[in-house]
Structure 1
Amino acid sequence: MRQLDLNIDVDKVTVVPREQHNISRKEISPSALKVLYRLNDAGFQAFLVGGGVRDILLGGHPKDFDISTNATPEEVRELFRNSRVIGRRFKIVHVRFGREIIEVTTFRAHHEIETEVSEGESRKHIKHLDSAHSSTGMILRDNVYGNIAEDAVRRDFTVNALYYTTNHFMILDFVNGLPDIEQRLIRMIGDPETRYREDPVRILRAIRLAAKLNFGIEKNTEEPIPRLATLLDSISSARLFDETVKLFTNGSAEKTFALLRHYKVADYLFQPTLECLQDDNDVDSKLLTLALRNTDNRLAEGKSVTPAFLYAALLWPPLQYDIRQMCGDKVPTLGQLQECAGEVIVEQLQFTAIPKRFTAMMREIWELQLRLSPRNRRSVEIAYTHPRFRAAYDFLLLREAAGEQLNGLGDWWTQFQQVDADAQHVMIDALQPAKSPRKKRRRKPRKPESAD
């Protein structure tokens, strides 16, 4: 049987030569190329794999590049002084070039799980073989190494299992990922239900990829998602926070949230919010939609976004609900707003962790919505010099754009930032009603002192 010079059985892989694909080294990070070449020069196999390959094939310009190799993490660490091994359940190597990190993983293979005890074989041995999985099928440890073909079928989706090598600049496809890219489909490798049970976060990845790439989800990959979404309860809230940030910072936050709701997955991430979104046309629902759309626009313009602003918008509907329950139609006091904010955040923490630095910023954005009502010079100066003024101002504009009646408050602050200091003084003075002149009190004449 013919073999490639990479010692790969050609009957198990589709090989795309250089002249038949559009991947160029110009589109690959120089740092990633350094890692590929050094591993090859040391006698190891090394491939660019995953999103970097997929996105270049789709005409994109990826910023993150992952490398897969037959070198163990310890061997990679010896080759690169600027690297470190991280993780225990799934060991990987981060090779750092300034601010850029190239992630290097060793080829993995599936764990062998025996479900029956053969004659003469001890149950203790079977328990040892199966200890890499939980009782629900979730992978607990994943450091079983294999070859590139085994590594390909162990990956999650076919579009993420394409390998590019600088050895003759070929693409290797073991799982028919190229046809799925052409058909714009997200397809799970292997049995979808089994793979979701191995790692329920794959449910979120399927939705994130479908939204980001504007792909459909293949029917067998799609069917178990609503049914198995409850498995997300077994994932740590800290990991779910990281995954939600990825969901909403991929450039398709608005579409991602719509898919999360469509597949009933949002129930396990943002249940307090969903309970308050009964009508998509109400002000709170519109504000959330506008916030997600604003996030997509900022990322498209190369601007930064912060999870604090995203979560401030996501939790605004339950915050407003609690405020209405407490205050009715009255404007809440600062103390009442702070009390409701604390309760809403605590409730959300049951689903996704939120680091304290972000919850503190969320509280400030919310509290400034009260402080942005200009009353006098002092109130304006306190709000305008606050470190979170810009974020709070942007949030205020979203409230107005969603249809909330704020008596032109956004326009006032917009104008205030555009004029010079003298004009700002005039605007502040106009806030205070003119004082009526004080009447002079007439003093009563002193009584003459008595002779005594």
Structure 2
Amino acid sequence: MRKRYTRSESGRLVESALVFTQEDHHIDTGDLDHDAVKVVRRLQQHGYEAYIVGGAVRDLLLGKHPKDFDVSSSATPTQIRRLFRNSRVIGKRFRLVHILFRDKVLEVSTFRSQEAAGFKNVYGTLEEDVRRRDFTANALFYNPRDNTVIDFVSGLQHIRKRVLRPVIPLDRIFVEDPVRIIRAIKYSVTGGLRLPWLVRRRIHRDRPLLADVPSSRMTEELFKILNSGHAAPIIDHLLRYNALQHLTPRPAELARTNSEYRRKLIARLSLLDAKRRDSGAMERKDLLVSFAADYLLEFGAFDDQKRIPFRDGYFAFKDFLFPVTPANREVEGALREIFRNKGRLLREEPPEDTDADGTSAGGRPRRRRGGRRRGGRVPAARGDGSDPATSGT
């Protein structure tokens, strides 16, 4: 382990961070994304600071195999764009660069200043940027050039203690961005990181702020959860914290008042998690099938109908998801799958000894089969992605 020093305002050298070597952090370089390493090296070769950051470093330290890698650099978006032809600048409130590869998109951000309130484009130094990170587990910087981890906030120690501690003061962290409430719960579940009591209390106090989050961000958060491979435990914890009511109010209220619906929802999501782990990332329509099938077929307005008019099912689906707003074609595609596989979906259920993560006592999800297919054939749906409310379906 080494130490990193910076100069104070008076010009004195002061210790600012710990630098952990391979012998300290034990990150397996074979788990690194080669394109992310190339991006970091090119930026460094042109005189910029650059590191792999965020969830990828956290997951590597937890012994996981991250799929998504983010990079942070001292280069501005314009400078990054000049170095990578296969890139584009996105965002208005806070500009980022997406570097496009055949099978992935790498996100590169510029170090943010502590003066960058909210999402403003005020760039700063590495030392300032770390103070803008949400939790210490996400505030670690990995340098693939010398295989070191730079730690300003005791993040590595907190990961080893399996605790999720905030970097930003508690009275600001969720006020500045309420979506951090959802992410705190998600990180806690997926990383096995304990939420300290003060953080849990702040979540309970600030969760009403989620009501003001734009629907587009809520939509992205829901799909990230459903596609995480840990949807069942995350949704279960969101229900425990009464936070799901601000993400998707209708299923949250139904789960609160109907224990059988809650049980079936978590069981369905456990099956989704097993499929996600076996097959990789899934299409959004397939994620929506798992999230909404039980409501539409058994607990919604059509639970006693053999035939559901497609138009009525569509609007019921949209109402169930509100304020989450997937594309019309994704809702239509999910609805067609639910209608087409109604019998299988009604029979599909994990065994009683399924654990919270969706695995059975033998370690692999199982499925109960049998029974006759119920319900009649439904009218054909449009497949062009148009809104059935205006298409005359």
Of 273, 287, 294, the residue aligned with 2:251 is: 273
User: Contact 2:248 / 2:321 at 8 angstroms: preserved in 1?
Assistant: no
Gaps of at least 5 residues in structure 1 are 113-131, 133-138, 369-388, 412-452
Aligned-residue offset at 1:279:
6.3
Identify the residue that residue 158 of structure 1 maps to in structure 2. Answer: 136
Of 67, 72, 84, the residue aligned with 1:68 is: 72
Gaps of at least 5 residues in structure 2 are 353-367, 375-393
Identify the residue that residue 385 of structure 2 maps to in structure 1. Answer: none
| Cα offsets for 1:357-397 (capped at 9, x unmatched) | 121023223433xxxxxxxxxxxxxxxxxxxx5xx565243
User: Contact 1:273 / 1:317 at 8 angstroms: preserved in 2?
Assistant: no
Q: List aligned pairs for 1:96-135, cutoff 5 A.
A: 96-111=100-115
Identify the residue that residue 408 of structure 1 maps to in structure 2. Answer: 371
- Aligned-residue identity in percent: 31
User: Contact 1:68 / 1:104 at 8 angstroms: preserved in 2?
Assistant: yes
1:250 counterpart SS class = coil
| Cα offsets for 1:199-236 (capped at 9, x unmatched) | 11111111111111122112222211122111111111
Of 279, 295, 302, the residue aligned with 1:302 is: 279
Q: List aligned pairs for 1:43-442, cutoff 5 A.
A: 43-111=47-115, 139=118, 141-278=119-256, 282=260, 284-316=261-293, 318-319=295-296, 320-323=298-301, 330-335=304-309, 338-339=311-312, 341-368=313-340, 392=342, 394-398=344-348, 408-409=371-372
Residues 148 and 287 of structure 1, relative CA distance in 2, 3 Å threshold = same
TM-score after normalising by structure 2? 0.81
TM-score after normalising by structure 1? 0.71
Aligned-residue offset at 1:84:
1.3
Aligned-residue offset at 1:317:
5.1
User: Structure 1 residue 32 and structure 2 residue 32: aligned?
Assistant: no
Aligned residue pairs, count: 353
The structure with the largest alpha-carbon Rg is 1
Identify the residue that residue 41 of structure 1 maps to in structure 2. Answer: 45
Aligned-residue offset at 1:355:
1.4
1:300 counterpart SS class = helix
Amino acid at match of 1:295: L
Aligned-residue offset at 1:196:
0.7
1:345 counterpart SS class = helix
Q: Take 1:48 and 1:333, find their aligned partners in 2: how far apart are those partners?
A: 52
Amino acid at match of 2:347: L
Q: Take 1:79 and 1:346, find their aligned partners in 2: how far apart are those partners?
A: 43
Coordinate RMSD, CA, aligned: 3.0
| Cα offsets for 1:427-450 (capped at 9, x unmatched) | xxxxxxxxxxxxxxxxxxxxxxxx
Identify the residue that residue 359 of structure 2 maps to in structure 1. Answer: none
User: Contact 2:227 / 2:281 at 8 angstroms: preserved in 1?
Assistant: no
| Cα offsets for 1:242-280 (capped at 9, x unmatched) | 101111222211110111011110111222123333566
Q: Take 2:317 and 2:70, find their aligned partners in 1: how far apart are those partners?
A: 35
